[in-house]
Amino acid sequence: MLPHFSKIQRFIIRWKSRSLGPDIDSIITVLSVLIYMGKSDKKEDNMDKQLGIAKHILYDRLKLGGIASFVLERVIVEVGEFIDDEGKYIRAREKAFDEFVQNIQLYSFALDMLEGEENASKLEMLRSVIQKSYDETYSLKKESKRILQVQESRFLH
């Protein structure tokens, strides 16, 4: 069962984690989305399992334990808000997909969080969405590709 925080507690948690930087904000978004995404058929016990995996990942990858505890609290607050407001989850999921495209190293969080047969379809869906976004972001349009080929041929000859 996810811990429940009062409005004041949520405010304090957000205040404590406000200046951790954009990289930590990305981790918070990604982990929150992955925990909520990892739940199966709205089972709370699976979210607890996902939260345990996230805790292990945070304490393993963030060398400063104090920061890991702040980040974990913030992740719990975010997941609680996703439970209350599905629209907030959808917006955060889009942001997480963008974060994956901008920093592909964050995909390792997804590999760790969504391992196992029960999450294989979610991981595959995530992989395909990221791949599509990555291809769109980092591909050249036909005209640009042609101009680049002409420039390359002139430079090489």
DSSP-assigned letter for residue 63: S
- pLDDT value at position 10? 85
| pLDDT tens, the chain, 157 aa long | 677 788 888 888 888 888 888 899 999 999 999 999 877 555 556 788 888 999 999 998 887 667 888 899 999 999 999 988 999 999 999 999 999 988 889 999 999 988 888 888 888 988 898 888 877 777 777 777 777 777 777 777 6
Nearest-5° Cα angle at 30, 104 to 141: 40
Domain positions in the chain: 7-156
Contact 134, 103 (CB under 8 A): no
In this prediction, residue 41 carries a pLDDT of 55
pTM for the predicted model, two decimal places: 0.80
26 contacts: CB under 8 Å, gap ≥ 6: 99, 102, 103, 106
